[in-house]
């Protein structure tokens, strides 16, 4: 059922929180790369989500009774956690069947899903220039992926892998849209703790079914998973789950495309990896698209304020 969501006043604190979250997202590929030297991606996903629960538990458990969710909110939160956990699983599995470039490009289509589903389900309209900026940013993200993986094999079963990556984009879109609804009346901690718990259990089930080893790794591996839990999980996804109360999910999808740009800069600083020319062009397109969308939004807000004051 379509439900029109109204734009709320955005507190200033949302902006530094989002900036910190985006920086945490940028560190995710670096941490996964280091942890992946001794464990599978599914094991990383399990420990990342489980350790996030452990870190949040001392703060969340004492407050859950005072911030109890309604049955509807609890059901939606569990569903969002299921979508988030499945997103981690299908995204990781897609890398076994298709190229990293194809998987990265397809998962970057989430802003397109968010814009369409946000309008269809929540009645959130985006201005045409913002829609154009989303399209430009998606093209830029595609160029980054193709540039980084030019000439590599397409994978064992590209059709299956591409379908899984596309499913990952849809799943993360649904997860953010549910958060947009639930967070209107729910505190951040009361939402993210059961959300991450559901995501952790969702990632754990296929790991157990596939008999993925979860124990016996070095302390370095568990420390890296702890950093992923604190950084990309709690600070990264947490910043999005905090901000989605005030900002349409499609906007968060657009901002998430800054992740490969930040990751490339970190790879250059840490590993002296110089991105290929095609990737640099893609990064410029993403930055231009995001900057244009933000400037347009500020201009539209000022125009609306001026019109309201003169009316």
| pLDDT one-digit tens code per residue, 255-285 | 887 777 777 777 777 767 777 777 788 878 8
Q: How many CB atoms lie within 10 A of CB 131?
A: 18
On the question of pLDDT at 154 being above 60, the answer is: no
d(CA 259, CA 287): 11
pLDDT, mean of residues 113-133: 77
Report CA dihedral (237, 239, 242, 243) to the nearest 10 degrees: -110
pLDDT, mean of residues 291-301: 72
DSSP string, 232-301: IIIIIIHHHHHHTTTS-HHHHHHHHTTHHHHHHHHHHHHH-PPPPHHHHHHHHHHHHHHHHHHHHHHHHH
User: Angle of helix 158-182 relative to helix 100-107, nearest 10 degrees?
Assistant: 30
Nearest Cα to Cα of residue 81 among 106, 53, 105, 104 = 53
d(CA 179, CA 245): 8
Q: What is the DSSP letter of 125?
A: -
What integer pLDDT is reported at residue 6 of this predicted model? Answer: 53
What integer pLDDT is reported at residue 226 of this predicted model? Answer: 95
CA 80 and chain centroid, separation: 13
Look up residue 17 and give its two tokens. 């929180």
pLDDT, mean of residues 132-160: 70
What integer pLDDT is reported at residue 148 of this predicted model? Answer: 59
pLDDT band of 145, cuts 50, 70, 90: low
On the question of pLDDT at 216 being above 80, the answer is: yes
pLDDT, mean of residues 115-125: 75
On the question of pLDDT at 150 being above 60, the answer is: no
68-108 pLDDT, tens digit each:
888 899 999 999 999 999 988 887 777 667 665 566 667 77
pLDDT, mean of residues 171-200: 91
Nearest Cα to Cα of residue 22 among 169, 240, 301, 276 = 240
13-69 pLDDT, tens digit each:
888 999 899 888 888 878 887 888 898 888 998 999 999 999 999 998 887 777 788
Look up residue 286 and give its two tokens. 């993403």
- Give the lowest-confidence range in 54-63, 122-131, 292-301: 292-301
Report CA dihedral (201, 188, 10, 117) to the nearest 10 degrees: 30
Look up residue 194 and give its two tokens. 């059961």
Please state, for a pLDDT cut of 90, what percent of the chain lies above it: 27
pLDDT band of 311, cuts 50, 70, 90: low
The phi, psi pair for 123, rounded to 5°, reads 70, 25
């Amino acid at each position: 059922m379509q439900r029109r969501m109204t734009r709320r006043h955005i507190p200033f604190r949302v902006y530094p929180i989002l900036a910190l979250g985006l920086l945490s997202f940028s560190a995710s590929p670096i941490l996964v790369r280091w942890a992946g030297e001794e464990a599978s991606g599914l094991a990383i996903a399990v420990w990342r989500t489980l350790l996030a629960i452990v870190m949040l538990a001392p703060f969340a458990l004492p407050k859950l009774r005072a911030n109890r969710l309604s049955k509807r909110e609890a059901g939606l939160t569990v569903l969002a956690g299921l979508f988030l956990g499945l997103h981690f699983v299908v995204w990781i599995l897609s890398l076994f069947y298709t190229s990293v470039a194809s998987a990265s490009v397809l998962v970057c289509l989430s802003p397109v899903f968010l814009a369409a589903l946000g309008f269809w389900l929540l009645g959130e309209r985006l201005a045409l220039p913002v829609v154009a900026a989303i399209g430009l940013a998606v093209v830029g993200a595609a160029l980054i992926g193709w540039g980084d993986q030019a000439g590599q094999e397409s994978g064992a079963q590209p059709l299956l892998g591409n379908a899984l990556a596309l499913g990952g984009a849809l799943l993360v879109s649904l997860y953010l849209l549910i958060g947009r609804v639930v967070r209107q009346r729910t505190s951040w901690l009361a939402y993210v703790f059961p959300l991450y718990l559901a995501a952790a259990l969702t990632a754990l089930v296929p790991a157990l079914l596939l008999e993925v080893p979860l124990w016996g790794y070095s302390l370095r591996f568990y420390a890296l998973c702890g950093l992923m839990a604190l950084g990309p999980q709690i600070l990264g996804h947490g910043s999005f789950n905090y901000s989605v109360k005030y900002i349409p999910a499609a906007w968060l999808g657009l901002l998430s495309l800054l992740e490969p740009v930040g990751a490339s800069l970190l790879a250059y600083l840490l590993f002296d990896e110089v991105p290929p020319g095609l990737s640099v062009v893609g990064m410029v397109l993403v930055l231009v698209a995001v900057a244009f969308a933000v400037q347009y939004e500020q201009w539209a807000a000022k125009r609306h304020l001026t019109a309201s004051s003169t009316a």
